[in-house]
Structure 1
Amino acid sequence: MGMPLRSEDERALGSRFGRAVRRRREDRGWSQEQLANRAELNRSYMGEIERGAVMPSLATAAKLALALDLPLAELIAQCEQLAG
């Protein structure tokens, strides 16, 4: 499971990661439930990730990248691009 986000920097990073995941999911026309199933995650946890409420572990981020059919580095790069 992910960790609750405490500092302002952590919350901003969590928000960017969640937006990056949501964009890729929506690009594919998938629901949160479809992505959660593909990544073997709970749907409500998927929602928390996309809202930036939690920061997923590296293993969970890798599962999401695999489910989205892209390298983890690309998902992280998209997160960084959202920083500006």
Structure 2
Amino acid sequence: MTIPAHRIAFGEHLRELRRARGWTSQEAFAHHVGLDRTYISGIERSRRNPTLDIIVKLARGLEVSPSELLSTIEP
């Protein structure tokens, strides 16, 4: 299965933002946003394709706009 470039970019950017904001643990961040650690891991490894609701939840947990999470995706 080929993973789309936009999903890879999103996962990498999520990981960078999470770590930059002091969430070194996926588990702690997942608890903070109300998701399972394995789901966060799946997004960061580009295995999961999050819905808009999840993107908003992640953005709120990171205190950024949803557009900031999507900013690395090429048009």
Please report the TM-score for the alignment, with normalisation by the length of structure 1.
0.78
**Cα offset, 1:29, TM superposition:** 2.2
CA RMSD in angstroms comes to 1.5
Post-superposition CA distance 1:4-27 (Å, at most 9, x none): xx6x4x621111110010000110
Of residues 6, 10, 21, the one that matches 1:17 is 10
Which stretches of structure 1, 4 residues or more, deviate above 6 A after TM superposition?
Answer: none
- Structure 1 or 2: larger strand share? 1
Give unpaired runs (5+ residues) of structure 1. 1-5
User: What is the letter of the counterpart of residue 33 of structure 1?
Assistant: E
User: What is the letter of the counterpart of residue 18 of structure 1?
Assistant: G
Please report the TM-score for the alignment, with normalisation by the length of structure 2.
0.86
Note if contact 1:11-1:53 (Cα within 8 Å) is conserved in structure 2. no
- Give the equivalent residue in structure 1 for 2:48: 54
Of residues 59, 67, 70, the one that matches 2:64 is 70
- Structure 1 or 2: larger helix share? 1
**Cα offset, 1:61, TM superposition:** 0.6
